[in-house]
Structure 1
């Protein structure tokens, strides 16, 4: 009996997800296989886990074509939020 092999790239996607989750723990990371897009989602409450208020803009959803593109957007949001505190 042969084993079912995962589609090409599944391991790479899993590794990229794990890396993003490790770097941005307050975000849920999603890769949609049908569109190939990457998403980062969090609630406003998760954005404020440290108890400090953020500026007026609270980002709760991001998307990008690639994991690296999503990482860049997540870093930008993190920098913006750090400056607003």
Structure 2
């Protein structure tokens, strides 16, 4: 595993902030609630919160989740799929 330096922390923080922004927009919730939702969904689906946040941002950008990440796709669909579908329908 590569050492975690300042730029890697900055990238992780940006990803989490972007994912929080996605949830704030979709759920009309606070940043704190969005972070708790990400962590809770990650725990519930036994996936890494940062990987879930990355996949959530990708989904919001209209990109598919990387092949082999069915757990991430399932977590997003379970936790926020209805919100994505509603946003796409409007």
TM class by smaller structure:
0.3 to 0.5
Larger relative CO (CA 8 A, sep 6+): 1 or 2? 2
Question: Going by fraction, where is strand more abundant, 1 or 2?
Answer: 1
Higher helix share: 2
TM-score calculated relative to the size of structure 1: 0.39
Give TM-score scaled by structure 2 length.
Answer: 0.38
